[in-house]
Amino acid sequence: GESVGLHLPTLSVQEGDNSIINCAYSNSASDYFIWYKQESGKGPQFIIDIRSNMDKRQGQRVTVLLNKTVKHLSLQIAATQPGDSAVYFCAENRSYNTDKLIFGTGTRLQVFP
Amino acid sequence: DAMVIQNPRYQVTQFGKPVTLSCSQTLNHNVMYWYQQKSSQAPKLLFHYYDKDFNNEADTPDNFQSRRPNTSFCFLDIRSPGLGDAAMYLCATSKGTGSIGVNTEAFFGQGTRLTVV
């Protein structure tokens, strides 16, 4: 079945620490994955993406890891800042199915001083 | 400059009264998506267009319809809104795999928050 978001789990971290947010995706045929950040009352904002032929990709302060064997994604945020506080979603794209884009269950990140 | 624009940002409608939400894009993207997002939940895909081809999700109620008259515009019609349809509605666009062989990230609008009274 499709991933359906329920009540959001929360990750609380101290400012300056590293954060790791995990996501399980549902379809082994998905070939492109995106992490989004969503602040209250706003639309999701692109953070980083990764294609299925890769297992790691790095951006500025963020790294995404992909484990296709267990259908798992993670987002690592280095030196977490208060501005990183938001809800984070992974999304899986299925190019074989007209680029259907399905969101996984999100995680609320809270950064405290 | 906003690339995916949703109007209005806030919409109040009466129970059972048809309502239309609009989305426009300046990116010339092939794919346009509509999502429903309720509080503390993930965006739920209602349907999407790949060019003119409409792709409905199996669990999207018949009460929800969509139109895409041209590349730039897409509309979400709720024929008879119920209290359970109160939510944030998000529109997004992406280039589409067909155009360049791989897809790229979807760009989202700021959403329309729908209240049903």
pLDDT at residue B99, rounded to an integer: 64
Is the separation of the CB atoms in B99 and B42 below 8 Å? no
How far B112 CA sits from the closest chain A CA (Å)? 9
Mean pLDDT confidence for A55-70:
96
Size of interface A-B (CB pairs under 8 A): 79
Q: Which residues of chain A lie closer than 8 angstroms to B97, CB-CB? A: 95, 99
Q: Judge whether B103 is closer than 8 Å to chain A, CB to CB.
A: yes
Q: Is B100 left (phi over 0), alpha (psi -120 to 50) or beta?
A: alpha
pLDDT at residue A94, rounded to an integer: 85
Nearest to B5 by CA among B102, B87, B72: B72
The CA-atom distances, in angstroms, between A60 and each of A19, A105, B85 are 14, 24, 38
Of the listed ranges A14-18, A23-27, B73-77, the one predicted with least confidence: A23-27
Of the listed ranges A46-60, A61-75, A91-105, the one predicted with least confidence: A91-105
Beta-carbon contacts of residue B111 (< 8 Å; ≥ 6 apart): A41, A42, A43, B6, B9, B37, B88, B89, B90, B91
pLDDT at residue A96, rounded to an integer: 76
The answer to whether the CB atoms of B108 and A99 lie below 8 A apart is no
Q: Which helix (DSSP H) or strand (DSSP E) does residue B108 occupy?
A: strand B107-108
Chain B residues 54-73 within an 8 A CB cutoff of chain A: 55
Beta-carbon contacts of residue B107 (< 8 Å; ≥ 6 apart): A46, B3, B4, B25, B27, B29, B92, B93, B94
Q: Judge whether A34 is closer than 8 Å to chain B, CB to CB.
A: yes
- The residue among A97 and B18 whose pLDDT is bigger is B18
DSSP string, A10-27: EEEEETTS-EEEEEE-S-
Collect the ranges in chain B with pLDDT lower than 70.
Answer: 1-2, 99-100
Q: Judge whether B110 is closer than 8 Å to chain A, CB to CB.
A: yes
| Confidence class for position A66, pLDDT limits 50, 70, 90 | very high
| Confidence class for position A7, pLDDT limits 50, 70, 90 | low
Beta-carbon contacts of residue A72 (< 8 Å; ≥ 6 apart): A22, A23, A24, A25, A66
Q: Judge whether B102 is closer than 8 Å to chain A, CB to CB.
A: yes
The answer to whether the CB atoms of A100 and B55 lie below 8 A apart is yes
Nearest residue, CB atoms, B108 vs list A5, A43, A49:
A43
Q: Judge whether B100 is closer than 8 Å to chain A, CB to CB.
A: no
pLDDT at residue B58, rounded to an integer: 96
Determine phi and psi for B26, rounding to 5 degrees: -110, 10
- In angstroms, the CA B69 to CA A108 distance is 37
Side chain identity at residue A79, one-letter code: A
Question: Does pLDDT of A28 surpass 50?
Answer: yes
Q: What average pLDDT does chain A have?
A: 91
pLDDT at residue B1, rounded to an integer: 67
Q: Judge whether B43 is closer than 8 Å to chain A, CB to CB.
A: yes
pLDDT at residue B98, rounded to an integer: 75
